[in-house]
Amino acid sequence: MKKPVAIDKADIKAFLGSGSRFEGKLSFDEMVRLDGHFKGEISSTDTLVVGETGEIEGQITVGALILSGRFKGDIKASSLVELRAPAVIDGSIETPTLKIEEKVVFNGEVKMTSPKELKPAVGGEPKKK
């Protein structure tokens, strides 16, 4: 079994803490970590990291998603979706690569795509680290 994707704190360019609440549209060009509550649309060509206290309801279209929190809605990732315990997901996932740890709760459907089929939300391909 492959190791989870390593996240260097220096790579995170924005952090939305556990006490925060946002509603609307969020777009970004570099890695973002979300530990608060968000309702709406998120789009990026880079990586979104959702911590254990993070709760999202809506649509996510990103290069990569690493999710440990709660999510309800639709996910599209052009390179990777990694679900880490204790994540709880209710919705659909479309991605070429899906990793699910033990004890993750996933209720929904998955569509596996080739990287060429799923275009990134904004601009070019996700940045390689």
The predicted structure's pLDDT at residue 97: 96
Strand segments, DSSP code E, in 4-128 are: 14-16, 21-28, 32-34, 37-44, 47-50, 55-67, 70-83, 88-95, 98-100, 105-112
Q: What pLDDT, in 10s, does the model give residues 108-125?
A: 999 998 876 555 555 444
Residue 113: per-residue pLDDT: 86
Cβ-proximal residues to 67 (8 Å cutoff; 6+ apart), any chain: 50, 54, 81, 82, 83, 84, 87, 89
Q: Residue 92 is encoded by which pair of tokens?
A: 């659909």
| Residues whose CB falls within 8 Å of the CB of residue 8, separated by 6 or more in sequence, listed in order | none
pLDDT digits (tens, 9 = 90+) for 50-107: 999 999 999 999 999 999 999 999 999 999 999 999 999 999 999 999 999 999 999 9
Q: What is the pLDDT of residue 98?
A: 97
What is the pTM (predicted TM-score) of this model? 0.79
